[in-house]
Amino acid sequence: MSVPYRIAERVLPDRIGQRINRKKKIRFTFDRKTVPAFQGDTIASALLANGQRIISRSFKLHRPRGILSYGSNDPGSLISVGTGASRTPNTRATMTPVSNGMVSESQNNWPSLKKDWSRYFDRIKRFLPAGFYYKTFMKPMFLVPVYQRVLRLFAGTGTLLNNRDTASYEHYFLNVDVLVIGGGLSGLVVAEAASTSGAKVCLVDENGFLGGLSDIFDGQIENVTCLDWARKCVTRLAENPNVHLLPDTTATGMYDHGFVIACERCSGHSKNNDSVEERLWKIRALHTVLATGAIEQPLLFPNNDIPGIHLSSTIRAMIVRHAVAPGHRGVIYTTNDDGYKTALLMIDAGIEVIKIVDARLHAEGTLVDLVKANGILITFASTILEVITDKSNIHIQSVVTGALQGTSGITTKIDCDFISVSGSWAPVVHLWCNNGGKLEFDANSVCMRPVGTQNCMSIVGSANNVHRIENLLEESWDGGHAAAQHALGKRIRKPTPSFGISKSTKVTTSDTVGQIVRSKTTQEKDFSVFVDIHNDVTIADLKLACREGYASVEHMKRYTSLGMAPDQGKTSNLNAAVILANIQKCPVGEIGTTTYRPPYTPLRLGTIGGSQPEFKTRVFRQLPSIKWHKDNGAVLDNIGGWSRPLYYARQKIKRSIAITSEINAVRNHAGLFDASSLGKIEIKGPDSAKFLDLVYATKIDALPVGRALYGVLLNESGTLLDDGVISRLKTNLFVIYTTSGNSGLVLDHLERWHQTEWPDLRVFITSVTENYAHFSLSGPRTLEILKSLEGFDSNKLEISNYLDVWEDHFSDIDLRVLRVSYSGAYGVELSIPSNHATELWQALMHAGKELSIKPIGVEAMHTLRTEVGYIAMGIDTDTDTIPADVGLDWAVSDSKPDFIGKYGLVQDAHINAPRKKLVGILTKHENSVPEYGAPIFDRPHIEPGNVIGHVTSAFYSPTISRSISLALVSEKHIFEGAVVHISQSTGTTPANIRLSRFITKEQAGASPFRRDAGGQ
Amino acid sequence: MLQIKCPVCKIKGDETDFSYGGEAHIYKPGVTNGQPPNMARYLYIRSNPRGVQQENWRCSLGCNKWFTISRHTISQEILATYKLRETPHPNLSGKVKNI
């Protein structure tokens, strides 16, 4: 197979084809076509070598896109690589090394890249300006989802994988003194200077090869070429134990306090040979030096987006690195000396240079002389007026050039097959700006250059707009030394550069000062001058944005989508700023830039996620007797951070049957509920009562030893934070119980108030949630069961009152017994040290076996408490609920001088504004159970304005054989029997408000003893 | 990501090892002359400066103690870290470069 654009091996073998190994032949496929390549090629260079210029289609107009640039800043070359589960969409062809058997495919076209049907959008581009889709597809509203689905087919980049990403990722952490970002000449010198000064250095670079662009720039340092000099420098650094080199690693974001995120691409490089696809580095550096270099900018002229138009530096990179000629006959359009370097290299490589079109009025120097000596035609003050292509719009046939200014009207048509363009070199300032670094427009070199200083960060080299090599090396050496001094926090004597650079050292290079120019274009031509090549934003779009009032650079970006493409405007933002300034007739400096946000290059979600082991990384807390539950058919769910039984389905019985039988057991016999997840906090110390009185809204001080009470905890604005039982075991020992999901919150709340507001109170706050298992035994048979529990003194229970608390025993283990019940039935709660939990559970189940005891899950417990109208914090309340809304105003003390929330409760919003109150709801249809959170309306029509509340708890109650719900409803709609309408999947269902209890005390199985009349 | 040093247990960690507690030195008001305190001011009004802010943090994965830091809200520089009931540096703003 012939490879038409590969430069022969005999041409300058020591300069051309540096990265490829012609002995190692590789074959991969692009769009099912086999492509021959050499080891060391990128997909982009291999495709260019084979004359495949079109690589993808643009975002909106589906115009053909090729290779503009060589690196991560290329706007057009997104392809998908791999097959099946390991396919990766939106990979840059310019950044992907080839490997044998690799499968790659173009994106955003149908049925094929060349014959993409959507390419006809280009013919009507005049009628598809910026904002077209937003303006056109607005009405009618109900069709908007349809529009979205259809338009989506034409727009966009790659397609997502439908299956789980099989690649593996990991995170690494690194702490260094000095982090150098960028491994070009400047970065290498910084790393060397900093490490020689004694700092621990890490150097990251986006490319697999360190040395940056030293291979494509001529010039000598110490009588060797820049590339050889860089190589020696890399060798020295690699041997230095204080330097950590990270090639193939892109620093994507700079965050506060010297925190840098960098992404290392590991696969495809035999040297790493690890199974990880990408590695995310989280680097914390005491000082960061940005040596990120500069990006060459394209020029603006009609049809400047056709494949075959390459940045000048890209052409040099293709020739020098991969021995690839972009074409046979080239025209060079330049605004600086860079184009001349490219011309000379092309001559050396045997590629015909037809003409240099130089936008400058005049230029002279060694480079110009050399080019002239080769007999190449140069026209100054001229520009490209038109690019003429074949019918497919993919291959350049000729260009029309003419004068840049004036109206001489003399035009020349030149046959050629590729164009080299070179605007200015724009410093890569993204990371500088991530942390708020400032920029300034530099009119001399036409770029935004960094100004000012930043903590823990400096910027050197061409990223700092220093391009002359001798200046750059010196600045970088100083920068590296200063960085080490800053990082180590001491003065260090500046080490002598190992490369002996001084003013007298001969460095040959020339200035690369550029300017942005734009061809004179007519209105007609504005539609084909592309500023953002990926997103198809033309000068006409920018003008439209300005006309319609989106003239600010940030507005323009949102309106036209310029700079929003996957390249984030690396080759378009600067040109856009110049155009905007032109339109608005103001200096470019006043236009400013859009905000630079991380990431610098796109990051995969998998990389951000890191390693995903088979087991879930989020661990749920386990009940102490979880094994028993699992063995006995418990269906577990994660509730409030705990893995808890929802219900027990031992013989694979249906969920609803299981729950019903559990509820019936509590109401008629006995049920045992594992409430070990309840938060348990011990408050110890002489000031415990005083402290609790300050934090709880309920009065606690007077609570006698051996008694408990129900208390509510408010926050300062008076809304409910949590509720629970507070028991006093000793004068100076309280145990407070919190809602399962709130145990951490309450602990932090108490701790915070103790530390910040009342540090003088002598109190210890200790969480004992995990130390005690907590079982709730309830139902009419409770007493009988406990009578046969070994070591338990049931006499104490028999004479006990509701809300009594005492200590008892199970065999010889201490038990804390609490006479409370969350189900409304007669019952006790037993606390036992966790290590004895299963023994007690089994003993209780055994003791109750004859008495039809059943284990109870969370579902049954919630139904039971809803039947008797008990609320669950965070379910029936939200962050706006005050105690009076849910009928808990009795728990708020009037007599206490102060407590958290006392004055918050009397805010206007709580007293004078209409409130939502908790009510019972009975649906008209007894079997229809509303969904949690279902909106409630005052009439049967669903309209946003008619919402008067929402359902908070809803269950089917087997005790009264109908659906019951609790709801928060606006108070003016509340009266006994009021008709409301609850939203459900189809329309609404009617229901009545119920203000009294759902079931009677007898139905609930409350205490048979008269002394317990007040409670259960 | 901020890097914070706890003044109590002296541990240095990322901000994710700590929890944020809002502006510092806001104290619970009491009843004055029989009038309830101005709750709206205490609960909702914060200074939100462009510059140095005193703020409470908790060493939540360490010693669990609350402390106060002086953070510059633009540069994110932490100018001082001190225990509760200690006073901040008298002239922190003077230490900050003009931003």
Query: Are A338 and A512 spatial neighbours (Cβ–Cβ below 8 Å)?
Result: yes
Q: In this complex, do B21 and A259 lie within 8 Å of one another by their Cβ atoms?
A: no
Q: Which domains does chain B have, with CATH numbers?
A: 3-25+41-95 (3.30.2270.10)
Nearest to B65 among A717, A755, A907 (CB): A755
Q: A181-195, A249-263, A430-444: lowest mean pLDDT where?
A: A430-444
pLDDT at A618 over 80: no
| Residue whose entry in the numeric block shows the structure tokens 């250059």 | A449
Q: Environment class of residue A154 by beta-carbon count within 10 Å: exposed (0-12), middle (13-18) or buried (19+)?
A: middle
CA atoms of A13 and B33, how far apart (whole Å): 94
B77 touches chain A (CB under 8 A): yes
User: pLDDT-derived band of residue A408, with 50, 70 and 90 as boundaries?
Assistant: low
B39 touches chain A (CB under 8 A): yes
Question: Which of A722, A769, A708, A688 shows the shortest CA–CA distance to A900?
Answer: A722
Query: Are A720 and A877 spatial neighbours (Cβ–Cβ below 8 Å)?
Result: yes
Q: What is the mean pLDDT of residues B71-75?
A: 90
pLDDT for A42-89, tens place per residue? Answer: 999 999 999 999 999 988 889 999 999 998 999 888 999 988 878 888
Chain B residues lying within 8 Å of A756, measured CB to CB = 56, 66, 84
Q: A83-97, A282-296, A663-677: lowest mean pLDDT where?
A: A83-97
CATH number of A169-295+427-488: 3.50.50.60
Is the bond preceding residue A599 a cis peptide, omega within 30 degrees? yes
pTM (two decimals): 0.86
- A592-623 burial, b at 16+ Cβ within 10 Å, e below that, comes to ebbebebbbbbbbebbeebeeeeeeeeeebbb
Strands A352-358 and A377-379: parallel
User: pLDDT-derived band of residue A499, with 50, 70 and 90 as boundaries?
Assistant: low
Nearest to B84 among A258, A748, A756 (CB): A756
Query: Are A938 and A1011 spatial neighbours (Cβ–Cβ below 8 Å)?
Result: no
CA atoms of B19 and B17, how far apart (whole Å): 7
Query: Are A635 and A649 spatial neighbours (Cβ–Cβ below 8 Å)?
Result: yes
pLDDT for A945-1001, tens place per residue? Answer: 889 999 999 999 999 999 999 999 999 999 999 999 999 888 899 999 999 889 988
A898 touches chain B (CB under 8 A): yes
Neighbours of A956 (CB within 10 A): 18
Nearest to A257 among B2, B42, B58 (CB): B2
Beta-bridged to residue A396, according to DSSP, are: A389
User: Residues, chain B, total?
Assistant: 99
pLDDT for A355-378, tens place per residue? Answer: 999 888 888 888 889 999 999 999
Per-residue pLDDT at A500: 56
Q: How far is A257 from chain B (nearest CA, A)?
A: 6
pLDDT for A17-45, tens place per residue? Answer: 999 999 999 999 999 999 999 999 999 99
Q: In what order do the strands lie in the sheet with A329-334?
A: A309-311, A418-422, A329-334, A352-358, A377-379
Cα four-point dihedral sign A672, A674, A675, A676: positive
End-to-end CA distance of chain A: 91
Q: In this complex, do A757 and B27 lie within 8 Å of one another by their Cβ atoms?
A: yes
Q: Which among A681, A756, A900 is the top mutation candidate for probing chain B, defined by the most B β-carbons within 10 Å of its own β-carbon?
A: A756
pLDDT for B13-70, tens place per residue? Answer: 999 999 999 999 888 887 777 777 888 889 989 999 999 999 999 999 999 999 999 9
CA atoms of A229 and A217, how far apart (whole Å): 12
CA atoms of A97 and A19, how far apart (whole Å): 11
Q: How far is A237 from chain B (nearest CA, A)?
A: 30
Cα of A749 vs its chain's centroid, Å: 30
pLDDT at A639 over 50: yes
**Most confident among A104-113, A307-316, A332-341 (mean pLDDT):** A307-316
Q: Environment class of residue A25 by beta-carbon count within 10 Å: exposed (0-12), middle (13-18) or buried (19+)?
A: exposed
Q: What are phi and psi of A242, to 5 degrees?
A: -85, 0
**Most confident among A129-133, A566-570, A724-728 (mean pLDDT):** A724-728
Nearest to B66 among A756, A903, A907 (CB): A756
CA atoms of A235 and A214, how far apart (whole Å): 15
End-to-end CA distance of chain B: 20
Q: What are phi and psi of A483, to 5 degrees?
A: -65, -45
In chain B, DSSP assigns E strands to: 3-5, 12-14, 19-23, 52-58, 66-72, 78-83
CATH 3.30.1360.120 fits A626-676+772-800+807-864, yes or no: yes
Q: Which among B28, B76, B96, B98 is the top mutation candidate for probing chain A, defined by the most A β-carbons within 10 Å of its own β-carbon?
A: B28
DSSP letter, residue A19: S
Q: How far is B30 from chain A (nearest CA, A)?
A: 8
Q: Which comes out higher in pLDDT, residue A51 or A520? A: A51
B50 touches chain A (CB under 8 A): no
Question: Which of A904, A528, A858 shows the shortest CA–CA distance to A716?
Answer: A904
A784 touches chain B (CB under 8 A): no
Name the residue ranges covered by the structural domains of chain A. 169-295+427-488, 521-598, 626-676+772-800+807-864, 679-767, 914-1016
pLDDT for A135-178, tens place per residue? Answer: 888 878 788 888 888 887 777 678 888 887 778 889 999 999 99
Query: Are A986 and A930 spatial neighbours (Cβ–Cβ below 8 Å)?
Result: no
CA atoms of A31 and A33, how far apart (whole Å): 5
CA atoms of A670 and A830, how far apart (whole Å): 15
Q: What are phi and psi of A525, to 5 degrees?
A: -75, -20
CATH number of A679-767: 3.30.70.1400
CA atoms of A704 and A868, how far apart (whole Å): 28
For residue B29, the chain A residue with the least C-alpha distance is A903
Q: How far is A757 from chain B (nearest CA, A)?
A: 7
CATH number of A914-1016: 2.40.30.110
Q: In this complex, do A756 and B77 lie within 8 Å of one another by their Cβ atoms?
A: no
B1 touches chain A (CB under 8 A): yes
Per-residue pLDDT at A853: 96
A274 touches chain B (CB under 8 A): no
Q: A211-220, A788-797, A830-839, B45-54: lowest mean pLDDT where?
A: A211-220
Query: Are A740 and A639 spatial neighbours (Cβ–Cβ below 8 Å)?
Result: yes
Q: In this complex, do A259 and B31 lie within 8 Å of one another by their Cβ atoms?
A: no
Token duo for residue B66:
């609350």
A907 touches chain B (CB under 8 A): yes
User: pLDDT-derived band of residue B85, with 50, 70 and 90 as boundaries?
Assistant: confident
Q: What is the DSSP string of A204-219?
A: E-SSSSSSTTTTT---
Nearest to B2 among A256, A756, A906 (CB): A256
Question: Which of A211, A370, A373, A363 shows the shortest CA–CA distance to A293?
Answer: A211
For residue A900, the chain B residue with the least C-alpha distance is B28
Q: In what order do the strands lie in the sheet with A21-30?
A: A33-39, A21-30, A103-106, A78-81, A88-92
Q: Environment class of residue A214 by beta-carbon count within 10 Å: exposed (0-12), middle (13-18) or buried (19+)?
A: buried
User: pLDDT-derived band of residue A501, with 50, 70 and 90 as boundaries?
Assistant: low
B73 touches chain A (CB under 8 A): no
**Would you state the CATH architecture of domain A521-598?**
Orthogonal Bundle (1.10)
Beta-bridged to residue A356, according to DSSP, are: A332, A378
DSSP 3-state assignment of A976? coil
Cα four-point dihedral sign A221, A222, A223, A229: negative
Q: What is the mean pLDDT of residues A739-744?
A: 92
CA atoms of A379 and A397, how far apart (whole Å): 20
State the amino acid at position A808 in one-letter form. D
Q: What angle do the packed helices A573-584 and A539-547 form, to 10 degrees? A: 50
Token duo for residue A631:
């063995």
pLDDT at A407 over 60: no
Chain B residues lying within 8 Å of A904, measured CB to CB = 39, 43
Nearest to B39 among A258, A435, A904 (CB): A904
Nearest to A755 among B14, B77, B84 (CB): B84
Chain B residues lying within 8 Å of A717, measured CB to CB = 39, 43
- Helices and strands in chain A: count of H runs, count of E runs: 26, 50
Query: Are B6 and B17 spatial neighbours (Cβ–Cβ below 8 Å)?
Result: no
DSSP 3-state assignment of A603? coil
pLDDT at A1008 over 70: no
Nearest to B36 among A716, A717, A903 (CB): A903
